[in-house]
Chains A and B, each alone.
Chain A
Amino acid sequence: MADQHAISTSIHPSRSAQNPLQRFLMATELDTRLLGMIGALAIIWIGFNIFSGGLFLTPRNLWNLSVQTASVAVMVTGMVLVIVTRNIDLSVGSILGLVGMVMGVMQTDILPTQLGLGLGNPMIWVLSLATGLLVGTCIGGLQGVIIAYLRVPAFIVTLGGYLVWRGAAWWVTMGRTVAPMDPTFQLMGGGPSGSVGAFWSWVVGFFACAAILVVIYWSRRQRLRFNFPLRPVWAEVALAVIGCGLAISAVAVANAYPWPVRIAASYAEERGIPVPESGLFISHGIAVPVLIALGVGVVMTFIATRTRFGRYVFAMGGNPEAAELAGINTRWVTVKIFMLMGALCAIAAAISTARLNAATNALGTLDELYVIAAAVIGGTSLAGGVGTIAGALLGALVMQSLQSGMVLMGLDSPLQSIVVGVVLVFAVWLDTLYRRNKH
């Protein structure tokens, strides 16, 4: 073994791999855990497709699945950082409820009537969203300060928050449901108008492909600069093809789902477009909430892996004492994590209220459990120090796929809860096995 380690550093380790699969994995440096999750997701999708008689893998269902996942996906990116630092946040569903109510009241009452902007003013959605983000960040910051500086365990602080913010959501309007939302604000919830259409979806797909190529090129250049082992060229090409292929097929699926016939017809009538015999085909394209979730995922991945803050989060999770002794202001980092979590809850609240086109004080009930479950299924370790944003996003997709698939198969809702619960425990057990075998 010692001799193997002593080989020149500029030769990529994949040279020493035996079988082709192992060689492929080593050469591309893909995370096997993440691949395992993608495999599990594929099995779930294909399984549901067979058992539901081909209803699951349709553009319509996949598009809906993506929209349904968006809200939890946004929150789970923050939950990863919270759990990585050995904390927990049980209050995210309640924060979502409270912030949703605040944004609802802002755009239906305070801004248009009390401040006299008038309904439909283009500033309304911006100001509502900004207020929501501010409230969410402040709530997260408050909880973070109590956890970091007053040394109350996060479990207790956010358990208190779970009750406090849910109660506060009720107090905003004394339990009254607020509707309808501002038309521009509604776009954040998806639906035919809340999707970007075929052309812009292709633009997004194009930029995604370009970004993949730039990242691959950039990392190769960095390795060259410092004379590190390079991935073989065929592996780089394979990565580029797989990445771009996924982006393009996702766009193709979103574009294959047309607007409902009636909405398309009335749209055509308004614009005076002639409707052909076979019916008008207007693509949904990627939904706005999905774009928001993807954007959040990219930004959070960047924060987690490319910034000092992200590095500190993981170091604190691995060894809090070492992080403190290394001179990291661990308390302030903790506060920042919870502020970020609060802000993400606000974004999720905007997506949820816009999608429902109403703010209710029960919005987001049980979301904390789905978010935590998604993070854990996605490979975030409750012992701290381990977790990825991409894994957690996949975890959110797995959870939502299970739920959506069971609805398609017509399973009773109590049975759905049972299945989700069992899958959660099973997934974590598998992960424990995987980690044990690895070392």
Chain B
Amino acid sequence: MLDTGTPLVEMHDISISFGGIRAVDHASIDLYPGEVVGLLGHNGAGKSTLIKILSGAYKRDTGSIRINGEDAAINNPRDAKGYGIETIYQQLAVADNVDAAANLFLGREITTAIGTLDDAAMESKAREVMGRLNPNFRRFKEPVKALSGGQRQSVAIARAILFNARILIMDEPTAALGPQETAQVGDLIKQLKSDGIGIFLISHDIHDVFDLADRVVVMKNGQVVGSARTEDVTKDEVLGMIILGKVPPGATPGPGAIAD
């Protein structure tokens, strides 16, 4: 089923510079429906920057983005959401001082017939979604600041799936979590994948993503070193790609690959 039909996302030949430093250098990646792609690389390899271009947080200098085979104009986070792209950021982009429901619906509040906020309806919907993700979650009335790392993470994930995301970007999704919560996120990713959602997992730690991903793409110094299906390569080979930029036989080399 994978690798057939039109890719959900095609980012082609993307470059962006910050003050003379080329953070992303002619990088191309794609993502198919129901696929989990792990985007790996050291800190500063350009993976977060590349993905922030897709989520609209940064504007690319050159290159094109196609969603479902059609050119997409993504200039800000609102545009990206319009294409069904939802992002869960590394720094857990939640507003600490408001409650879970307010965070879930931030920017897309449910309003009553006269245009006021319908808090009861939002809380009810939030209870439903959170109940599915994290059945132990009860603290709906408290500001998110009072929640644990895992609870905050489930709020961030709930926000992404609440609006029927088709493309989900998760930046270090389990970095702030304990083992049990990490397993929960893993189950969740499998559930979302079976719904046909395409997922980018971004991490500098291969162990976080290797078992969850169908495919890995490795970046180094802003360039794509190569990509590989997880069944065709070993963890050590992928580590070699991350650290040395050396592409194993089972992988497809990219522009950043070093020649043997």
Interface of A with B (CB < 8 Å)?
2, 5-6, 9, 222-223, 225-226, 228, 302, 305-308, 310-312, 314-319, 321-329, 385-386, 439
Which chain B residues in 85-138 approach chain A with CB under 8 Å? 87, 89, 91, 93-98, 102-103, 106-109, 111, 115-117, 119-121, 123-124, 127, 136, 138
B81 CB within 8 Å of chain A: yes
Using known A-B contacts A9-B127, A228-B123, determine if residue A327 contacts B107 with beta carbons closer than 8 Å.
yes
- Cβ contact within 8 Å between A325 and B97: no
Report Cα–Cα, A316/B107, bound state, in Å: 11
Smallest CB separation, B259 vs chain A (Å): 40
Given contacts A223-B120, A306-B116, A311-B106, 15 further A-B contacts (CB under 8 A): A222-B120, A302-B116, A306-B117, A314-B98, A316-B95, A319-B95, A319-B97, A322-B94, A322-B95, A323-B95, A325-B89, A326-B93, A326-B107, A327-B108, A385-B97
**Listed A/B pairs (12) with beta-carbon separation below 8 Å:** A6-B136, A306-B116, A311-B98, A311-B117, A321-B91, A323-B106, A325-B55, A325-B87, A326-B107, A327-B108, A328-B106, A439-B145
The CA-CA distance from A308 to B72 in the complex, in Å, is 28
* B57 CB contacts on chain A under 8 angstroms: 325
- Give the CA-CA distance A312 to B103 in the complex, in Å: 10
B139 within 8 A of A: yes
B22 CB contacts on chain A under 8 angstroms: none
* Number of B positions contacting A (CB below 8 A): 37
Query: A328 and B117 in contact (CB under 8 A), knowing A226-B124, A319-B93, A385-B97?
Result: no
In the assembled complex, B235 has its CB within 8 A of some CB on chain A: no
Within 8 A of A (CB), among B130-187: 136, 138-139, 143, 145-146
Instruction: Report yes or no: A319 in contact with B94, Cβ–Cβ below 8 A.
Output: yes
CA of A305 to CA of B115, assembled, Å: 13
Given contacts A325-B77, A327-B77, A439-B146, contact A226 B123 (CB under 8 A): yes
B97 touches A226 (CB 8 A): no
- Evaluate contact between A327 and B98: CB separation under 8 angstroms: no
**Is the CB–CB distance between A6 and B96 below 8 Å?**
no
A226-B120 contact in complex given A315-B106, A325-B77, A328-B107, C-beta closer than 8 Å = yes
Contact B116 A315, beta carbon cutoff 8 Å: no
Decide if A326 touches B127 in the complex (CB within 8 Å): no
Among A225, A310, A329, contact of B120 (Cβ-Cβ < 8 Å)? A225
Cα(A308)–Cα(B108), bound, Å: 9
A328 to B56, CA, bound (A): 13
Q: Does A327 contact B81, Cβ atoms closer than 8 Å?
A: yes
Q: Collect the chain A residues with CB atoms within 8 Å of residue B76's CB.
A: 327
Question: In the complex, what's the smallest C-beta–C-beta distance from B183 to chain A, in angstroms?
Answer: 18
Residues of chain B at the chain A interface (Cβ within 8 Å): 55, 57, 76-78, 81, 87, 89, 91, 93-98, 102-103, 106-109, 111, 115-117, 119-121, 123-124, 127, 136, 138-139, 143, 145-146
B117–chain A nearest beta-carbon distance, Å:
5
- C-alpha gap A323/B102 in the complex (Å): 11
Tell me if A226 and B146 are in contact (CB < 8 A): no
Q: Which B residues touch A2, using CB under 8 A?
A: 136
Report the nearest B residue to A302, measured CB to CB. B116
Residues of B within 8 A of A311 (CB): 98, 102, 106, 109, 117
Nearest A-chain residue to B105, judged by Cβ: A311
Q: What residues of A have a CB within 8 angstroms of the CB of B108 in the complex?
A: 327
Chain A residues near B127 (CB-CB < 8 A): 9
Distance in angstroms between the alpha carbons of A6 and B135 in the assembled complex: 9
Within the assembled complex, what's the spacing in Å between the Cα atoms of A328 and B76?
10
Known: A226-B124, A322-B106, A327-B77. A9 touches B138 (CB 8 A): yes
Counting chain B CB atoms within 10 Å of each CB, which of A314, A315, A319, A325 scores highest?
A325
Known A-B contacts A9-B127, A306-B116; A226 and B106 likewise in contact (beta carbons under 8 Å):
no
Q: Which residue of A lies closest to B80 (CB)?
A: A327
CA gap between A324 and B107 in the complex, in Å: 9
B117 in contact with A315 (CB, 8 Å)? no
Residues of B contacting A302 with CB < 8 Å? 116
In the complex, what distance in Å separates the CA atom of A308 from the CA atom of B119?
A: 11
Distance (whole angstroms) from the CB of B166 to the closest CB of chain A: 16
CB < 8 Å: which of B95, B116, B119, B120 contacts A318?
A: B95
Which residue of chain B has its CB nearest to the CB of A315? B95
Verify B93–A321 contact, CB threshold 8 A. yes
In the complex, what's the smallest C-beta–C-beta distance from B207 to chain A, in angstroms? 27
Residue A386 contacts which of B97, B106, B136, B138 (CB distance < 8 angstroms)?
A: B97
Known: A306-B116, A328-B107. A322 touches B102 (CB 8 A): no
Choose one: B81, B109, B138; the contact of A6 (CB below 8 Å): B138
**Min CB gap A231→B, angstroms:** 13
Which residue on chain A has the smallest CB distance to residue B82?
A327
Q: Which B residues are CB-close (under 8 A) to A385?
A: 95-97
Beta-carbon nearest neighbor of A227 in chain B: B124
B106 nearest CB neighbor, chain A only: A326
Collect the chain B residues with CB atoms within 8 Å of residue A326's CB: 77, 93, 95, 106-107
Q: If the complex has contacts A9-B138, A225-B120, A315-B102, are A327 and B78 also in contact, measured as CB distance less than 8 A?
A: yes
- Quick check: B115 and A307 within 8 Å, CB to CB? yes
When distances are taken between beta carbons in the complex, the residues of chain A under 8 Å from B81 are 327
| Minimal beta-carbon separation of B162 from chain A (angstroms) | 12
Q: Which residues of B contact A317 (CB under 8 A)?
A: 97
Closest 7 CB pairs of A and B: A318-B97, A385-B97, A318-B95, A322-B93, A326-B107, A315-B95, A327-B78
Contacting residues, chain A, for B77 (C-beta < 8 A): 324-327
CB distance from B209 to the nearest CB of A (A): 22
Complex CA gap A311/B76 in Å reads 21
Cα–Cα distance between A9 and B131 once the two chains are bound (Å): 12
Least CB distance from A312 to B in Å reads: 8
Contacts of B55 in A (CB 8 A): 325
Does the CB pair B97–A314 fall under 8 Å? yes
Residue of B nearest to A321 (CB): B93
Knowing A311-B98, A318-B95, A322-B95 touch, does A5 contact B117 (C-beta < 8 A)? Answer: no
